[in-house]
Structure 1
Amino acid sequence: MKTRVIGLGAGGHAKMVIEILRLQNEVELVGLLDASPALQSKEVSGVAVLGPDEILAGLVKDGLRHFFVGLAGARDTGPRCRVYDFATGLGMQAVRAIHPRAIVSESASLGPGVTIMPGAIINASVSLGTDVIVNSGAIVEHDCSIGDHVHIATGARLTGGVQVDSRAHIGAGAVVRQLIRIGEGAVVAAGAVVIRDVAPHTVVAGVPARELAPAGAKLS
């Protein structure tokens, strides 16, 4: 019997996760929840949007137990974290979505709710925490430790022994040198080359990467 799963969020990231779950052929997608009025009663990749997140508690009472987060978050991982915590607070479990064209070492450790996109490489002794996204073509080299709710964006490259603390964002095409630590909630901008540790809750950009602003600041 297939596991019944609902998606929380119905944007572009949800479309990608839906395709991966269909390829895994182990789940039944029962619907999506999203707060956007424009999406109500619509379909996303053939999956119906059933309503806002507020109806989730009723679905749990009816026996639904599994979910995925359909939000990726550009720089800000907060909305994804809140949705994840809301669902797990109701006693739900997050499913993993691992594309068959991703390469994942047998010695890697994968937390609940991990999403690994096509072409991503997860090498030996890597640890991925809860709800981590490793996006298309990203490389996480040996002995890296990735904290909860981290997003490693498209084509980013983490060399050996990098530590990325929870809720950080590694932008598309960024490169992080070996043994670097990226602090909690930090943002590494797209294309940055990181050769020094990054403090928590800061934004770094450039080659080599330099601090621009606190992570919550709006950049002009």
Structure 2
Amino acid sequence: MDEPNEQRALTLIGGGGHALVVGEAARRAGFSLAGVYDDDASPAALRLGVTRLGSLNDVDASGGWIIALGNLAARAKVIERLGSDAARVIHPGASVEASATLGAGTYAGPRCVVHSFAVVGAHAIINTAAVIEHECELESNVHVAPGAVLGGRVRVGSGSLVGIGARVLPGVRIGRGVVIGAGCVVIRDVPDGARVVGVPARELGKA
């Protein structure tokens, strides 16, 4: 890893279930929570015991912040507006090699593993027990869901979702805006915008 978690107050952008996960991980990583921005009454704000600061359009990005929305399209809209000057949240139970790089705004969950010389772009979600093997390259706003595994030297384009428990074989290239279904085994490259399901994975229309 290139640098440790910043020790400062953190604002969560998004107030649903993913915000609960990010918020608790942030506290365990040494952050304090300044509050939550969300368009609706925020269950995360209530359960985390912090203030709802306003809607997603009201975000003040002058302090520490991280996108805590799970929906990739919603995340992309926030990224377009606010850019990449965001904090990383790395759960103390995550294993991130010193040679790996995590982009700004990335969340790394408990028991996830990011191996040697992997490069993870900004605003990624490396969820619980996900594995990013050696020399993988992930572009921005990628979600590797719980239990998913990327073999060595896999490439994943921006805005793509690797579903729960999916497996991507070494060297495979995943395009941008792709959805890989839960439990898939991906053995060949996937083009931009595709949705794939099954074992082995097959294309099932557009994402």
TM-score (norm 2): 0.92
1:11 aligns with 2:6: no
Alpha-carbon distance in 2 for matches of 1:98, 1:140: 14
Alignment of structure 1 residues 189-204 onto 2, 5 Å? 189-204=181-196
Alignment of structure 1 residues 1-220 onto 2, 5 Å? 3-25=8-30, 27-36=31-40, 38-39=41-42, 43-56=46-59, 59=60, 64-73=62-71, 77-88=72-83, 93-215=85-207
Cα deviations across residues 74-128 of structure 1 (Å, max 9, x unaligned)?
xxx111111123233xxx8211010111111110011101100001011001000
Cα deviations across residues 121-175 of structure 1 (Å, max 9, x unaligned)?
1100100000011100111110110110000000001111100011111000000
Cα deviations across residues 40-62 of structure 1 (Å, max 9, x unaligned)?
9x623112212212222xx45xx
Root-mean-square deviation (CA, aligned residues, Å) is 1.7
Alpha-carbon distance in 2 for matches of 1:102, 1:189: 24
Task: Quote how far apart the aligned CAs of 1:3 are.
Answer: 2.4
The one-letter amino acid of 2:26's match is L
Cα deviations across residues 20-45 of structure 1 (Å, max 9, x unaligned)?
111111x3311101001x339x6231
Q: Secondary structure of the equivalent of 1:161? A: coil
1:141–1:14 distance in 2 versus 1, CA, 3 Å: same
Contact 2:39 2:55 in 1 (8 A): yes
Contact 1:65 1:93 in 2 (8 A): no
Unaligned residue ranges in structure 2 (runs of 5+): 1-5
The one-letter amino acid of 2:68's match is G
Contact 1:10 1:44 in 2 (8 A): no
Cα deviations across residues 163-195 of structure 1 (Å, max 9, x unaligned)?
001111100000000100000111100000000
Contact 2:147 2:166 in 1 (8 A): yes
Contact 2:157 2:177 in 1 (8 A): yes
The aligned counterpart of 1:218 is none
Q: Secondary structure of the equivalent of 1:7? A: strand
Aligned residues: 201
1:28–1:85 distance in 2 versus 1, CA, 3 Å: farther
Q: Secondary structure of the equivalent of 2:170? A: coil
Larger of the two Rg values belongs to structure: 1
Alpha-carbon distance in 2 for matches of 1:46, 1:87: 25
Contact 1:139 1:158 in 2 (8 A): yes
